[in-house]
Amino acid sequence: MTIIRSAALIMSAALFFAASIVCAGTWEENFSVDGEYPPNWVIYNYDPSIEGWSQEDGVLKGWIAFTGYYSWLFLHPEEANPLEWANYEVNVRARWTEFIDEFSDHEDDAPQFGITVYDAQMARGNPRYWLGIKVKGGEAAISRPLAEDGDVEDVERLAVSQPFQAERGVWIQLRASVSSTEISETVQFQVNDMPPVTMESDDPYRSGSLALYVRGISAEFDDFSATGDDIPNHAAGGASVSPTGKASVAWGRLKRSD
């Protein structure tokens, strides 16, 4: 069973995000080199006819123009195994710039952007937590599939959200954190200085990769960092220090995930 509730009833945002991660590495990006998306990142099932990610004018730009589909950009250092990453925190600034899909004209859930954590799409099915800003729905939300296999179209999701209206072209700060034990896990999502949204589950994923994503929208990201026990150290604009292990990546799945 998964329990969802407002983090305001659990702890203050300051207490949660001040907690340190012992012996952690930190991966940073400032997207300062114009051109393709940075090395050590991978677009899931890349189709250049409908989507794109690039560094322009000091930010990372992502877009997809195909009805009902997502575009993910995964952090995937060459010698790391992101599927084993656990207990980490992600920070990034983001803003949306335009609707680019007719789907976004009539589906409140469609135009969105954000972060996925404990994401297994790259290798072992589609479990994940979505931590996203729903632009037309006016929400900051966490959700996860209820079905064991997220490949199923229109799979039902369990979700918790709070009102938040993202204005076009206005930067917002996104903070995400996930922590697990063998029997439970807690995910939190904070926007700017608002109290974080919290989802707790006794059906834990325990580990998984992380990604930035867009759906039915064009968005920009900047000042990215991810901190966790198994995440390599990488300074913005610098080289990575990779841990042992090698990822096994499968790219054969469809992009759609509802």
pLDDT, the chain, mean: 81
Residue 106 has pLDDT above 80, yes or no: no
177-195 average pLDDT score: 97
The predicted model gives 17-26 an average pLDDT of 59
Looking from the CA of 224 toward its CB, the CA atoms found within 13 Å total: 27
Confidence of residue 190 (pLDDT cuts 50, 70, 90): very high
Q: State the pTM of this model.
A: 0.83
Rounded to whole angstroms, the Cα distance separating 73 from 142 reads 18
Ramachandran bin of 58, using left for φ above 0, alpha for ψ from -120 to 50, beta for the remaining angles: left
In 3-state terms, what secondary structure has residue 210?
strand
Q: What is the mean pLDDT of residues 212-229?
A: 96
Alpha carbon 38 to its chain centroid, in Å, reads: 17
Q: Which long-range contacts (CB under 8 A, 24 or more apart) does 140-149 make?
A: 140/164, 140/189, 140/191, 140/194, 140/197, 141/189, 141/197, 142/4, 142/187, 142/189, 142/197, 142/198, 142/199, 144/2, 144/199, 144/201, 145/257, 149/125
**pLDDT tens string 146-172:** 765 544 444 567 889 999 999 999 999
Percent of the chain scoring above 70 in pLDDT: 74
pLDDT (tens digit per residue) in 27-79 = 999 999 999 999 999 999 899 999 999 999 999 999 998 877 899 999 999 88
CATH 2.60.120.560 fits domain 2-238:
yes
